A and B are shown apart, each in its own frame.
Chain A
Amino acid sequence: MDLLTNLALGFGVAFHPMNLVYCFVGVLLGTVVGVLPGLGPLATIAMLLPLTFGLEPTESLIMLAGIYYGSQYGGSTTAILVNLPGESASAVTTIDGYQMARKGRAGPALAAAAIGSFFAGTVATVLVAVTAKPLTAIALTFGPAEYFSLMVVGLISSIALASGSLVKALAMICLGLLVGLTGTDIYTGAPRFTYGQFELLDGIDFVAVAVGIYGVGEIVRNLESRSGAQALIAKITSLWPSRDDLRRMIGPSVRGTAIGSMLGVLPGGGALLSSFVAYNVEKKTSRNAAEFGHGAIEGVTAPEAANNAGAQTSFVPMLALGIPSNVVMALMIGAMIMQGIVPGPNVVVNNPELFWGLIASMWIGNAMLVVLNLPLIGLWVSLLRIPYWIMFPAIIAFCCIGVYSVSNSAFAVYTVTISGAIGYFLIKLDCEPAPFVLGFVLGPMLEEHLRRAMLISGGDPGIFVTRPISGGLLLVAAVLLVIVSRPTVARRREEVFVEDD
């Protein structure tokens, strides 16, 4: 069978000692930069790119890919421990992950993220190997109408992210959509909501907003307590998930993987949407629905599995079409070109050892990550014991440097200041940040695809229902809308445990 020969070729390449070394260096580096708040895979890969010229193409791509999924992994550690999402996908992980950490269950949360990710990584690797070609074909049939309908599904499902008031969550989504529109209108070139600021023409940097709302906001909230100590970290009970925890992780891992694998293939927003959608599905189907938002292990496992599966399958359009699904993939394409490999439909044919070697190395890298991270859980959890008077200035320093280095712009750091102040007061008013984040990211895409679809159809709105995939997605959205507006979901907010004031 073709697949087996291909996989045999891939594992032969990936198990080559030098490739194993570079894979390990990659996942290690990725974990480190992922854990440091603010410093992401983008900056790291950009810095390392010139160094990879001396390596074999396969070695360099294996290492760069390792940095990418390693950092996804490390980023969830920061999200769980200090409530700081390093990128949009881990914004979901903070919801329940950080609550678990506050209840002294940081260990099980980290383990859930690790195990969920590994499971997703394993399945997604096989999926990439089996379905790279057909998946690519599906991704290509996604035109503007399909993307618009997909975004609608994402937005409606995001309503379920709210554990409090439904109306406030809707308002926060709207606010996010509006703020996300800041920048140059791509259809007319007209500047919108830029207040005459040159730096705003490209829109507001996501990392800066997230660091402001989550980083600054959380620190100031912790300073509310009279001792100025870290908020309510209960005694750490166990580092490992209990048998019950493990049982509760099975379903979410499977569903998260399925969602992440499918959405990850779509360029632009796919991998991001996957963690939001996976969280929502769990919240809707779980028997422990009431626990979501207060530290449900399902709420960590599902988005982490989806996120990691999406990160793997986002290599599919890159490898099979030469089309980057995000900025990191754009850098990887740059790296391939430097190495003399023209990305595009011919890579599988011309460089099978690279294609299959990379896919096999992803599985090996995921295994390495588990081996690397499970023993490290103790170390990460012990970071929580660092006195808060050292911890929070360090977080501020990391955040400033990280945000500044994204585009070397002081403006981005001012964005942290402003969004931190506004975000803090909104959180005080019981307005949750997660729906805002989703709106902020989806807003520009929603509008872009809606208007493009109308341009291409010559102004005929029928395009959204007559194209089968688009129509199907809109049907899903309608069903979702009925489900979320049922009275059980609009249940009154239960009182969350009270802070120590």
Chain B
Amino acid sequence: MKAAFRLLFAVGIACGLAGTTSAQDYPSRDITVMAPYPPGALTDGVARLLQPKIAEYLGGATILIDNKAGAGGAVGVGQVARSKPDGYTLLMVVNAPIVMAPSLQASLPYDPRKNLRGVGVIAETYLTLAVHADSPIKSLDDVIRMAKEQPGKLTFGSAGIGSAHHIAGEVLNRKAGIKITHVPFQGGGPAIQNLVGKQLDMSYGTLPTVHAFVESGDLRIIAMAEPKRVESHPDVPLITETIPGVETTTWLGFFAPANTPDDVVAKLNEALNYALAQSDVQEAMTRLGLVVRPSTPAELDALVAKDLDFWAEAVSTAGIEKQ
């Protein structure tokens, strides 16, 4: 028993987590930030990256990260949407469950327009269309020509049903009048792995997933599914330049329940933008393939409203049914 106790003591020491001290009125107790994906997911990584900086700005408050995963993030988002709007339950999440899920899932436990309000945009990332370096496909024109020669023969990988990858691919199919077979994977990593192993003809993938394989000479990016050319890759053409309307946006946002007081939201926005301004945070974000995009709370609300409409149209163009 004594030895067991010593082991426990070691756990305590090794964890060595700081105690709680609280500042003035807000925050006066522990803040829980929901990152509604398993530990290790992109959202979780960003939340844990920002956690100490936001805590520092809020006078050393304790911030706990809550990974309540489920239903593509909808379980965790739903829980925050139902929480007390007191600023002690917050949400960091990618755009999918906020602006895409309402068009894809029939019964969501929240309405992003009514139950949430924005604190600020955290960052954005970019979706690429990539092929293997040995592939005869050199450009989007090659894709369209080969797809027309052999309808249904080419395949494209995606991160799953209803992902931005999938929607972009199906919108391209419809708008270009071609048929490329959709092969869904569970997440973007496995899709890219199968592309590297030449199991697929092409795959969509976020820039950070694809980039390392471009550098190693295994993959080639032939286009971006973005509305604007990407600063770091000015030479890569956009799909929408050839087939207008094939575009996506991917971002991470910081949210609070809908009726959270304005002054609390304002303070949290300051804290977020303080964290985003730190050079080490920016470096880590760049390595994650994210571009930091500080904003006001109102700008995030406007982005949500615009993207809700955008995805509703894209999903109906792609012909994906609600589940």
Chain A contact residues, CB within 8 Å of chain B = 25, 28-29, 32, 42-43, 45-51, 53, 140-144, 184, 186-191, 198-199, 201-202, 267-268, 321-324, 327, 330-331, 333-334, 337-338, 340, 342-346, 376, 379, 407-409, 448, 452, 455-456, 458
Contact = CB atoms under 8 A, between A and B. Distances in A.
B99 to A, nearest CB: 17
Contacts of A143: 194, 197, 199
B193 A267 contact: yes
Contacts of B19: none
Given A267-B190, A327-B38, A334 B155 contact: no
Nearest to A338: B284
Given A42-B39, A190-B323, A379-B4, A202 B71 contact: yes
A36 to B, nearest CB: 10
B323 A140 contact: no
B70 A337 contact: no
A199 B109 CA distance: 11
A321 B211 CA distance: 12
B10 A28 contact: yes
CB-CB nearest 10 A-B residue pairs: A344-B212, A46-B39, A345-B216, A331-B40, A330-B40, A189-B161, A140-B197, A143-B199, A201-B71, A334-B45
B102 interface: no
A487 B67 CA distance: 51
A409 B67 CA distance: 10
B245 to A, nearest CB: 23
B215 A346 contact: yes
A337 B45 contact: yes
Contacts of A346: 212, 215-216
B155 A345 contact: no
Q: What size tier do the contact residues of chain B reach?
A: 35 or more
Interface in B128-185: 152-153, 155, 160-162, 181, 183-185
B258 interface: no
Given A198-B75, A344-B212, A456 B218 contact: no
Interface in B4-57: 4, 7-8, 10-11, 14-17, 38-41, 44-45, 48-49, 51-52
Given A142-B197, A202-B69, A376 B3 contact: yes
Contacts of B194: 143-144
Contacts of B48: 49-50, 338
B283 interface: yes
Contacts of A327: 38-40
Nearest to B214: A344
B71 A198 contact: yes
A133 B320 CA distance: 41
Contacts of B212: 322, 342-346
A235 to B, nearest CB: 21
B179 to A, nearest CB: 12
A246 B154 CA distance: 56
Given A141-B197, A322-B212, A337-B287, A47 B70 contact: no
A330 B67 CA distance: 15
Interface in B208-260: 211-213, 215-216, 218
Nearest to A379: B3
Given A25-B14, A338-B49, 4 more contacts: A29-B14, A53-B52, A141-B197, A330-B41
B45 A186 contact: no
B69 A340 contact: no
B38 A323 contact: no
A184 B184 CA distance: 13
B183 A51 contact: no
A32 B216 contact: no
A186 B15 contact: no
Contacts of A448: 186
Given A29-B11, A331-B40, A456-B155, A46 B67 contact: yes
A187 to B, nearest CB: 6
B270 interface: no
A337 B160 contact: no
Nearest to B107: A198
Nearest to B211: A342
24 contacts: A29-B14, A43-B39, A46-B67, A51-B15, A144-B194, A189-B162, A198-B74, A199-B75, A331-B40, A334-B40, A334-B44, A338-B45, A340-B287, A345-B218, A346-B216, A376-B3, A407-B38, A408-B68, A409-B70, A409-B75, A452-B185, A455-B181, A456-B155, A456-B181
